[in-house]
Amino acid sequence: MLLGSYVPGRSWLHRLPAGAKMLALMLLSTALVLLRGPSPGLVGVAVATVLLGVAGVSVGRTWRALRGLLLAVVLISAWNLLQGNYARAAEQAGDLVAMVLLATVLTSSTRVDDLVAVIVRCLEPFRRFGASPEKVALAFSLVLRTVPILLTLARETREAARARGLERSPRAWLTPFVIRSVAHARDTGDALHARGLGD
């Protein structure tokens, strides 16, 4: 739910250039990884929470951004707790939650087109080595568009299996999901080919 979750607004976060926000996210994430102890993660969560409020992100959207991370947080924390490393468990859980919330701030206050434009500008120096910034931007855009579609397909196939009383059978929803995903990929490839893009 992080991808393509722009929330229109007029806050100072929305007016801040996309490149500056991406750089800030990179620096803050690096700091969270390098600094030891649970305090940096807790500070990061607090800062991200304030910024989410400034960006106008609802509690429901924030919860959807964190929901997919909870299992990883629980597993990592449980492993560290079993090792008796309580401080490490708090540190890693705080860092993960803080980074996801900070990434949510970026995607909620920045249009996808602006993010793609920054990526193209950053890759421009590599053009002399044969890199194509436009193709990288196209791939980035496809990821932003495809991931939510795949999540929707997965939910729909699970609901269809549940309606037939087959929710306990992985094959009942996994097979249709794979078929629909491949069909979507083929349709996307055909559309790109028809426009002469993405060879």
Over residues 118-122, the mean pLDDT reads 85
**Cα torsion angle, 185, 109, 95, 25, sign:** positive
- 130: region left, alpha or beta (phi > 0 left; psi from -120 to 50 alpha): left
- What pLDDT does 50 receive? 93
92-109: pLDDT as tens digits:
888 888 988 898 888 888
Over residues 144-170, the mean pLDDT reads 78
- Residue 164: both structure tokens together: 């037939």
Of 68 and 187, the one with more pLDDT: 187
- What pLDDT does 1 receive? 46
Percentage of residues in the chain with pLDDT exceeding 70? Answer: 93
Q: Could you give the CA distance from residue 134 to residue 51 in angstroms, rounded to a whole number?
A: 31
Of 88 and 190, the one with more pLDDT: 88
**Sheet strands (E) in the chain:** none
Burial of residue 138, with CB atoms counted within 10 A of its CB: 0-12 exposed, 13-18 middle, 19 or more buried? middle
Residue 148 predicted with pLDDT over 80: no
Q: Could you give the CA distance from residue 159 to residue 186 in angstroms, rounded to a whole number?
A: 24
Over residues 22-42, the mean pLDDT reads 90
